[in-house]
Amino acid sequence: MCLLIPSKVTQINQENNTATVDTMWVSCEASLDLMEEGSVQIGDFVLLHIGFIMNKIDEEDTMASLETYRETLELMNTHERQQAILDGDNCANRGWR
């Protein structure tokens, strides 16, 4: 299962139309191809899905989403967490570029 994950934009590469985002303390590169040019700025909170920034969200919604993820992880045992990571790594849409 692939999820929308709240992330914070830390860098923007206009040449490649990508942004570096901090997603639950992990940095990754995401495409800005689905966003209006100039609509995403450093420091914005965005929803990331299959390597694309889908839309911006406010900080309050971001914190609420991250709290839900934290609560979910606490309910999972080690095997379930490992399986969720493997499932995410095998997401059919993961290799966007």
23: CATH: 2.30.30.140
| pLDDT for 59 beyond 70 | yes
Number of folded domains in the chain?
Answer: 1
Per-residue pLDDT tens for 3-31?
677 899 999 999 999 999 998 778 899 99
Instruction: Please report whether residue 97 resides in a domain.
Output: no
Q: Residue 38: which H helix or E strand, with range?
A: none
When pLDDT is averaged across residues 46-62 and rounded to a whole number, the result is 91
State which residues form the domain around 17: 5-89
Task: Answer for the pair 27, 10: CB distance below 8 angstroms, yes or no.
Answer: yes
Report yes or no on 95 lying in a domain: no
C-alpha torsion sign, points 50, 26, 58, 36? negative
Give the Cα separation of 60 and 39 in Å (integer): 19
